[in-house]
Amino acid sequence: MELPNSARAVVIGGGVAGCSVAYHLARLGWSEVILVERHELTEGTTWHSAGFVGQLRSTVTQTKMIMYSAGLYPELAELTGMDPGWHGVGGLRLATTPERVEESLRLAGAGETYGLGLSVLSGAEAKEMLPLLDVRDVRAALWLPGDGWLDPALLARALAAGAEKLGVRIFTGTRVTGLDVVGGEVSGVRLALGAEEWSVQADTVVIAAGAASGRVGRLAGVDIPVVPIKHQYVVTEPFDVPSSMPTVRDPDNIVYFREEGGGILVGGYIRTPEIWDTGNPLEEPRTLFAADMPKFQESWESAARRVPALGRTGIVKVVHGPEAFTPDGEFLLGETAVRGLWAAAGFCVHGLAAAGGVGKIMAEWIVDGSPEYDVFGMDLRRFGGHARSSSWARAKALDSYSKYYDIVYPGEERTAARPLRRSPAWVRHAELGAEFGEKSGWERVNWFESNAGPSPEAGGVPGRGGASEARELRETEGVGEVQEVQEGGREAQKAQRGRETRGDREARPAGWAGRVWSPAIRQECLATRDAAGLFDQTSFSKLEISGHQALMRLQRVCAGQLDRPPGSIVYTQLLNERGGIEADLTVTRLAEDRFRLVTGTAFGVHDAAWLRGHGLDVRDVTSAHACYCLWGPRALDILGTLSDDDLTFGYMRAREISVGNVPVLAQRVTFVGEFGWELYCPSEYGLTLWDALMEAGTPYGMRPAGYRAIDSMRLEKGYRVWGMDITPETTPVEAGLGFAVAKDKDFLGRSALEAAARSLACLVLDDPRQVCLAGEPVRLGGAPASRVTSGGYGHRVERSIAYAYLPAGTAPGDRVEVGVTGTWVGATVVAEPLYDPASDRIRHLPA
Ligand SMILES: Cc1cc2nc3c(=O)[nH]c(=O)nc-3n(C[C@H](O)[C@H](O)[C@H](O)COP(=O)(O)OP(=O)(O)OC[C@H]3O[C@@H](n4cnc5c(N)ncnc54)[C@H](O)[C@@H]3O)c2cc1C
C-alpha cells in the first residue's frame, strides 16, 4: 500500500488509543484517515497490558468513558470481525477501612445517577462469589457486573480492523520524524520508512504515541507532559482458578488481580515508583524492563494475604513495562497550542479500559468541535506554562502514581512541586497562618487558621492581630525566611485545632465534609457579612482582546450583550454549537476597542484557546496584575481612607482609581454577595496594595479571608461555578442563567437554546450537619433523579445547601432525598438565592 501525499487526518501511534481514535473518526464519517506506527501495531505499551476494564473511577466523565468502552468491547467481534477476547466476569472492589467504605458508598451513590450497574455487598457475599478470597478484614465490597477483562493486543487489532473496514489506511514501520507547522497551524507530517523519507499534508494530526507523546509533541514545539513510569504485574502457575473469576481490586492493599491461564495475574502500585529515564521512549518495539521482585514484594505479600492460595503458588511470568503518566493522574486529551494538532495520551494504567471512550471523545471533539461529555478535567490545556518543565511534571507524576489507589478527599491538597506560582502578597499570607491550596500551580489561601479565634463581635482580633501581627512577625523573623514562617503557620494551625471549642466541634460537618475544614471559614464569612473580608484572587486568569474588530468578534462568541459604554462589566457565557457553556466569565470594556476578560484560575488557557479557535486574538495578561477583592459593608469606609477618588460608581462598573500610592482598576462586582470591588493593580505594586488594605481595614473589623469562605458565600447567592454547576453539557437556560443571555443579537449557540427539560435547583438539607461535596445522588419520589453539582454550608444563612439539576416543573417546597455517604437525607427545593434575594447589599451603597 502506497502512502498518500495528503490525508484528512493522520493518527500517530498504533496502540489502543490511536486505533480507537482512527476507528471513531471513521465512524463519524471521516474518509482519508491514515494511521502511522513506527513498529507493528500495539508494540508500544498496549501489547503487554494486563487487560482489566474497571468502570468505576473518581470522576463522572472517566466513569462514563469506561462505561462506553465496556459497552463497545463485547460488540467488537460483531462490528469488526475480530474478537478481542472479552471476559465479562464482573468486578469486585474491596473496602477494609471505615474511610474506604465511605468512599465506596459515595462512589456507589454517584454511580446510581448515571446508570452504572453496581451493588454493595458484605465481605461474606464477596467470598461467596470468589471463595479464594480471605475476607476477614473486608467491611464491604462493590460489585460491578459490567466489568471484565480482555486481550489488549486483540482489542487494539479489533479497533484497527474496524477502522480499516471503514476506510482508514494503516501504515506500520512508519516513524514520524517531523511535524510541519505554518502560522500556528499544523500542515503535515514527515515520515521515515526505513531509509526512505515521505511527507503527508494534513491539517488534522492526532498524537497518540503513548509514552513517546511528549517527544513527538516537541517536533511541533508543543508540551505534552507525559512521564513514562515503570509498572509491574506477575502471573502465577495454573492452580485451577476458574475463568469465570471476577476481577478484584483491593485498593487498601494497592493490588488488583484476575484469572489468567488457570492461575492469577497480580498487579500492584508501589509507593516508590521509578521513572523510565530515556530520551527516546518506545524507540525499540516491545520494551520491557528486568523484573524487580524486591519492589514487587509488598504487592505480592498483600495479594497473598487476600488470596492465601498464592502463598503456595509459584510465579511463572513477570511483566514490567512502561506506562505514560501525567502530572495529576488524569488523561491528556484535546487540541494542543498548535491548531489542528491534537493529543490523546497519558492514560495512567487505564488506557485500555478507557480507549473506547477516548476514541469517541476525540472524534466528536475533532469532527463536531466539542465532545458529548465535559472533558475539562482531561483537557491538556488545564496546565500553565510550567507544563513544559520536565522536573515539575516528573515530581507531580511520581506523586500521582504513588497515591494511585489512595482515597481522594475533596479539598485535600497534594504537596509535590510546591510552591510554584505565588501572589505578591504570599509572604503575608504565610505569616498569617494561611492554609494554602493549589490550583494550576498557584498557591491560594483556603483559609487563615489565625481567623479560627473568637469572632470580631466577641472582641476577637482578625488574623490574630491582622496587619499589626503580620508586621510584628516580619520585623522579628525577616521576610526572606518565608518557608520557616509557613511552617510556623502550620504548627499554629495544629495548635489551633487542639484549641477548637465545643461550638467549633459541633459546627464541624459530619463525614468527609468535615475532614478538610476549619472554624476559621465561618469567621471569615461572618466578618465579610458584618464588616469586610479581603481576598487574594491574583490567580484569576485575565485575558485581553483589542483592536477595531474586537467588539464585533466578541459579540459573536459571547451570549451576553457587550455593546455597552467603556467602563461597563458584563457577566457572560461562551457557548458551543449545542448551547453548552464552554466558559463563564466577566468582560470589562476598558476602552472602545479594548476588553479584559476575567475567568477562573484554572480556565485561562482553555478559554483563551476557545476564543482563538473562534478567530479572536487573545493576550493572556494574568501575570501582569495582582487582584484583591474587598467585600463587605465597611468596604466603602475602608477604601475611602485610602483613596480620594469617587468610589460611589455603580454596580458592574469599572474605574481607574488610586489606592494609597497604587494605581488600581476597581471593578464593582462580587462573588460573595456583599458590596465591594475587585481591585487590580500591576503585579509589582501588589505587596504594597495588600499591606495598605490590611492596615486600613483592620480597625474596621476586616479579616483576610480565603477561597473556602468564598465558596460558602457564593452558594448562598446561587453563583454558579463552571466545571461543576455549569459545563459544556448544560445550557444557560437550564442553569438559570437566562438573564445573562442577550435577546437582541445573534451569537454562537443561540439557535440551540430551547425551553429546558430540567433546571438547576437549590436544595436545603434537613440536617445542617450533613454537607454535600458534589456528586451525591438525588432522588425524587424515591427514584434516582440527579446528582449534586456543588454543595456546602452557608454560614450566613446557617443552612446546608446543595445544587442539582431537577426535572422542569420542580418547584420550591418540593421534597427530595440526597444520598450523603450512604444515608438518605431529606431536602427541600427552595427559591434562590437564599441570601439577600433582592441583592440590596450589592446594588446599593452601604448605609
Ligand atoms: C504493566 C502494565 C499493565 C497495564 N494494565 C492495564 C490494565 O489492566 N488496564 C488498562 O486499562 N490499562 C492498563 N495499562 C495501561 C495501558 O496498557 C496503556 O494505558 C495503553 O496501552 C496505552 O495505549 P497508547 O495507545 O496510549 O500507547 P501505546 O500502546 O504505547 O501506543 C503508542 C504507539 O505510538 C508509537 N509511536 C511512538 N512514537 C512514534 C513515532 N514517532 N512515529 C510513529 N509511531 C510512534 C509507538 O510505537 C506505540 O506503538 C497497563 C500498563 C502497564 C505498563
Please give the distance, rounded to the nearest whole angstrom, from the Cα atom of residue 282 to the centre of ligand 1: 9
Please give the distance, rounded to the nearest whole angstrom, from the Cα atom of residue 45 to the centre of ligand 1: 3
Tell whether the model's pLDDT for residue 797 goes beyond 60.
yes
The residue from 252, 530, 584, 637 that is catalytic is 584
pLDDT bracket for residue 408 (50, 70, 90): confident
Q: Which residues pair with 324 in a beta bridge?
A: 228
What pLDDT sits at residue 412? Answer: 85
Tell whether the model's pLDDT for residue 407 goes beyond 80.
yes
DSSP element (H, E) containing 784: strand 783-794
Site to probe by mutation for ligand 1, drawn from 46, 62, 249, 266 as the one with most ligand atoms within 8 Å of Cβ, is: 46
Residue 826 three-state SS:
strand
Q: Which residues pair with 679 in a beta bridge?
A: 628, 666
Phi-psi region of 138 (alpha: psi -120 to 50; beta: other; left: phi over 0): beta
Please give the distance, rounded to the nearest whole angstrom, from the Cα atom of residue 25 to the centre of ligand 1: 20
Nearest CA owner, ligand 1 atom 37: 209
What pLDDT sits at residue 336? Answer: 95
Q: Would you say the C-alpha torsion 773, 774, 779, 780 has a positive or negative sign?
A: positive
Tell whether the model's pLDDT for residue 492 goes beyond 80.
no
What pLDDT sits at residue 473? Answer: 33
Indicate the DSSP class of residue 549: T
Residue 584 annotated as catalytic:
yes
Q: Is the pTM higher than 0.85?
A: yes
Q: What value does the mean pLDDT take over residues 753-770?
A: 95
**Whole-number Å distance between alpha carbons of 347 and 211:** 9
The atom of ligand 1 lying closest to the CA of 210 is 27
Q: pLDDT tens digits for 220-252? A: 999 999 999 999 999 999 999 999 999 999 999
Judge whether 724 and 790 are in contact, CB under 8 Å: yes
Tell whether the model's pLDDT for residue 749 goes beyond 60.
yes
Indicate the DSSP class of residue 562: -
* Of the candidates 616, 620, 423, 444, the residue with the CA atom closest to the CA atom of residue 541: 620
Residue 22 three-state SS:
helix
Range name among 336-340, 498-502, 786-790 with the lowest pLDDT average: 498-502
pLDDT bracket for residue 778 (50, 70, 90): very high
What pLDDT sits at residue 59? Answer: 86
Lookup: cell for 407: 482515597
Residue appearing with cell numbers 481576598: 535
Ligand 1 pocket list (CB less than 6 A): 12-18, 36-39, 43-46, 48-52, 152, 175-176, 208-212, 216, 231, 233, 282, 319, 321-323, 345, 347, 349-353
Site to probe by mutation for ligand 1, drawn from 40, 229, 352, 358 as the one with most ligand atoms within 8 Å of Cβ, is: 352
Q: pLDDT tens digits for 98-134? A: 999 999 998 888 888 888 999 999 999 999 999 999 9
Tell whether the model's pLDDT for residue 541 goes beyond 90.
yes
Site to probe by mutation for ligand 1, drawn from 35, 39, 49 as the one with most ligand atoms within 8 Å of Cβ, is: 49
pLDDT bracket for residue 478 (50, 70, 90): very low
Indicate the DSSP class of residue 637: H
What pLDDT sits at residue 384? Answer: 83
pLDDT bracket for residue 755 (50, 70, 90): confident
Q: What value does the mean pLDDT take over residues 411-432?
A: 94
Asked if omega into 682 is within 30° of 0 (cis), the reply is: no
What pLDDT sits at residue 794? Answer: 97
The residue from 24, 231, 429, 606 that is catalytic is 231
Tell whether the model's pLDDT for residue 484 goes beyond 60.
no
Half-sphere exposure of 782 (CA within 13 A, CB side): 0
Q: Write the DSSP string, 25-62.
A: HHHTT--SEEEE-SSSTTTTTGGG---EE----SSHHH
Tell whether the model's pLDDT for residue 335 goes beyond 50.
yes
The atom of ligand 1 lying closest to the CA of 347 is 19
Rounded to 5, what percent of the chain is helix, strand, coil?
Answer: 35, 30, 40
pLDDT bracket for residue 646 (50, 70, 90): very high
Edge-first strand listing for the sheet containing 247-250: 119-121, 140-144, 91-95, 247-250, 255-260, 263-268, 227-236, 315-325
The atom of ligand 1 lying closest to the CA of 42 is 49
Number of other residues whose CB lies within 10 A of the CB of residue 764: 18
Q: pLDDT tens digits for 552-579? A: 999 999 999 999 999 999 999 999 999 9
Judge whether 140 and 95 are in contact, CB under 8 Å: yes
Instruction: Report CA-CA distances (Å) from 269 to 299, 571, 825.
Output: 7, 46, 37
Residue 256 annotated as catalytic:
yes
Q: pLDDT tens digits for 264-298? A: 999 999 999 999 999 999 999 999 999 999 999 99
The atom of ligand 1 lying closest to the CA of 285 is 47
Range name among 437-441, 479-483, 735-739, 820-824 with the lowest pLDDT average: 479-483
Nearest CA owner, ligand 1 atom 16: 351
Tell whether the model's pLDDT for residue 477 goes beyond 60.
no
What pLDDT sits at residue 497? Answer: 55
Please give the distance, rounded to the nearest whole angstrom, from the Cα atom of residue 88 to the centre of ligand 1: 23
Site to probe by mutation for ligand 1, drawn from 193, 349, 350, 380 as the one with most ligand atoms within 8 Å of Cβ, is: 349
**Whole-number Å distance between alpha carbons of 45 and 520:** 48
The residue from 23, 73, 233, 256 that is catalytic is 256
